[in-house]
Structure 1
């Protein structure tokens, strides 16, 4: 796992072989956006300690969606430190293991990528302590706004920190090679609409589920990429 500083004293990316998570800091209070794969808890704890921070101060884990590379370590992390686990109400029963993970509608070129993604360990059933809705404001980052961004999965969310100009986009937006619509969507038209909605927030920093964070010309880059997506019926 790589630890990458995005904003000094505020935000770090935890990059795994597949996928990534983000650590947000309000003083000594910590929030994790996504949690990496099952078995990643030790590496995450080591990364937190390497920053001179106390993992006992992890207050919450916000899950952008139900896929195994995003939720896998959440149960173990929350169990260790008592962090609250949050997810959209449509995603919560999947994360808890009560419903199956929704199957994506794959394009031909996505098939080998999807097979590679399945090499990540399957996520265990994970508790969700709080089910969130679009527009809710969470108590970190000066007021973190939940943005329902369906399409990748029905309950995918972004998290927008207007005070800091930061957007956590989950897998709605990807940045591997180029900024583009994320892959493996259950509803591509919905995902495209969500991409346009997130781009309209005009963040200064966009933290993606796959690919490097965008830190320069971010708003313009997102608008251009979203506009390039064909509008589907």
Structure 2
């Protein structure tokens, strides 16, 4: 399997199965493990320095979410990007985040707005350094923190469980979409700072609504990922 995976920390508070899952999930989302990559329980276990059981558990969880394909007597592989899965993820995420913005507009305190502004400053740095991984992580943090500051952390948990299929497509689009995404984050924050719930909801809808454009672009430029 390529590329190599780093050994896990036996003293980490999360279980080994969770750590294996997190490691593989992140690499599937950022396309370090692209669609079609073969995965071997034995090889992953050896590279991560764990037994095969936590790897088997992580493989099962990833297969249930549609990220890997486990087929008896055949190689386990990273699943292709699914347009249907992206559309389902978009529907769930858009509905929950629009509702969240209306709550956030009345619940966020000045300290929260300052913290969100700091994330955008760091995103600007990541964009300037062409750090796609850092930019994507800060994108997640921005949306996550709005949910948490609004008292709606449970909403983000639902979004996170479903958004991975969107994330693979959005990550590939960062080569041209990152500046627009950052500008739209500023639009969201401006509306929240003004206490405009409807404006913030409209801004996040615009922000997420590029997914059809991204799918069309990928189908033209990288059809092999589907």
TM-score (norm 1): 0.28
TM-score (norm 2): 0.29
Which entry has the higher C-alpha Rg, 1 or 2? Answer: 2
Higher helix share: 2
Indicate the structure whose relative CO is greater, using CA pairs within 8 Å and at least 6 residues apart: 2
